[in-house]
A and B are shown apart, each in its own frame.
Chain A
Amino acid sequence: MSGILCAIRGGPSSHPTIATSIKLAQETGEIIYFLYVVNLDFLTHSSSSKTNHISQEIHDMGEFILLSAQEQASEAGTQAEGVIREGRVVEEIIAYCEDQSPLYVILGQPEEEGEDNLLSLERLQTFADRIKKACQAQVIFSSEKDIPQEED
């Protein structure tokens, strides 16, 4: 068992998760594995014939999101790698945990109900329990306050 799994989807909501994983990597010396999941569910209502092509385009976009996170990790003096999987986000995180058995899994924690986050607080706890069951990893929740404040 080794490494820190940090599933991200890019954008502002991933900033706390990335910051938490970097902080943890600095403390433990573990490698960060940033995970991006290509999910094409939004295509179900149109353009089904484009699935193959758009899957590649979103894969490329995911690579950019991962590179951006890796760049931040590198600037903070930590080691990070990017991983891309395709499917449903929750299922792919579990599958990755089963395959790679990371030591830590970082999950974004919503500050309040209804905030733009993948899971509600209650469902997040259930999800964390599933991860623990799958790979015995320690699940850490991140939040906005984990983002280092920029100096003026």
Chain B
Amino acid sequence: MIRLFWKRLREGHQTSKKPVDALQLTRRFRGRPKLSPQLCEDECRGCAEVCPTEAISTSPLELDLGACLFCGACEEACPTGAIQLTHDHRLAVNRREDLVLSDRELPLAQALEARMLKIFGRSLQLRQVSAGGCSGCEAELAALGNVVFDLGRFGVQFVASPRHADGIVVTGPVTANMERALRETYAALPTPKIVIAVGACAISGGPFAGARASGDGIPQDIPVDLYLPGCPPHPLSIVDGILRLLGRYE
């Protein structure tokens, strides 16, 4: 017991600083892509050809972050540096169309409207629904509970029942076998409710877009409040997105 006590003392404080520090992101971390269409050479489709999920269209150069896996193949293929992956982990947006990058800035997520913010601003309970997720996104969501990211300190918790939840966090391309369970879980949430889509699969189908036994992400008729692109998104990206939704950056 005394040994455990010493171990605890030596552990000290391991939690990342508020709001989030990017100290853990190394120089190799592949974050938000930066596009410079003016550098594109005519007729060059190098980036679009190597993209595994057909997220890139050329002339004009556009990149759909909702389908992007942040693999960096486009950056490697580009002869002029028109696509560069930065170390920026801030990726969350409110609307699907905001995820289509061109030469403009990524419009980062805004806070919920005042009425919702009054209800959820200081305490948000979430239920996670994995609908075909490979466990990559699930692992990063689970990591939010560890001592480093500790999402609980912001009043955000994952709960065990939709009846206890204010919103759902959906991962995976939504397989045919999970669609009903997803819809029932959504219906079981008391209103008002929010939906957070985590990962390329939930947003666009990701690597599994067009697969025979699964959909292309969350069905259109379920409204999504926050999109978190990535494969999987870094836990810091998720923390950042949720805090933006709760208006903690104002």
Decide if A and B are genuine partners: no
Q: B residues near A, CB below 8 A?
A: none
Q: A residues near B, CB below 8 A?
A: none
